[in-house]
Amino acid sequence: MKTVAKIIDNKIVAAVDRQVNEKIGRALPQISSKIKPEVSSIILRSLSESPTVQSLLSGKLKDDFGLFGNVVDTTVNNIINVISEGINVKLEKSKTAGSIVTTTLEILPYKDFDKIISVAGGSFPARGGNVDWLEWLLTRGTQVVIGDFWLFEHARGFTRSGGSSIMRRIENIPREPFRVDPNFSGTIDDNFITRAIQSQSDELLRVLGSAVNRSFN
């Protein structure tokens, strides 16, 4: 029977940890820069294919919000630009046994959410005030957005979106006030953008892992 004794000098381990951490830390800005285009492309594809964006382009949400022209395409591209600027690779001390450090891909931190809401295209002027459709969609959940108007779904003639729904003031007969369709509604923590990112988590981590490996080979 063979007996193997392992003697670990904690000072040596600590020195190796410091060297590896420093090397990775110096490489992080370059890694972040290199993966931004691919990460942004993955998120853009996921957003474009999401049921919410499809509905904004040619479905119920387009009609509900009165969207027109290329406002949705413009807004989605501007959202991607904000997300791309905020992509960051961070170094964290690992709590997992056997690992020295953990690299974390940060996308859309809370500090950037106001930038998302205020992107060009996310609001447009209308009679009676601005239609802040992106803020409603991302933050208001199923709360009432406009309390004294309801969505009339059988309009004839011209509508801003080209669809068949218009807003009408609630008069005489009680109506359901306007709110975002619950099939698409979101909050700051759970909305069509966060869902699109989370659905690609495995692919995004693959991109990060490949970039880290290339930096140290």
Amino acid 136: pLDDT: 92
Instruction: Strands of 116-190 (E only): list them.
Output: 124-126, 129-131, 144-146, 149-152, 166-169, 178-179
The one-letter code for the residue type at 5 is A
User: What is this structure's pTM?
Assistant: 0.78
Rg (CA), the chain: 24
In this structure, what DSSP letter does residue 110 have?
Answer: G
Cβ atoms of 135 and 123 within 8 Å: the answer is: yes
4-58 pLDDT tens trace? 333 344 444 455 456 666 776 777 788 888 889 999 999 999 999 999 999 999 8
85-124 pLDDT tens trace? 888 887 666 565 555 567 788 888 877 889 999 999 999 8
Instruction: Strands of 3-73 (E only): list them.
Output: none
Amino acid 177: pLDDT: 78
Which single residue is written with the structure tokens 């992509």? 87
Rounded to whole angstroms, how far apart are CA atoms 165 and 154? 6
Count other C-beta atoms under 10 Å from residue 191's C-beta: 20
Amino acid 103: pLDDT: 75
Amino acid 49: pLDDT: 95
Amino acid 195: pLDDT: 93
Examine the pLDDT at 189 and tell me if it is beyond 60: yes
**Least confident piece of the model among 95-104, 106-115, 173-182, 205-214:** 95-104
With H, G, I as helix, E, B as strand and everything else as coil, classify residue 53. helix
Percent of the chain with pLDDT over 90: 35
Cβ atoms of 84 and 76 within 8 Å: the answer is: no
Count other C-beta atoms under 10 Å from residue 169's C-beta: 10
Task: Dig out the tokens for 54 from the structure.
Answer: 């499809």
Of 86, 81, 39, 74, nearest in space to 200 by CA:
39
With H, G, I as helix, E, B as strand and everything else as coil, classify residue 109. coil
Amino acid 143: pLDDT: 86
Residues 6+ positions from 64 with CB-CB distance below 8 Å: 151, 165, 178, 180, 181
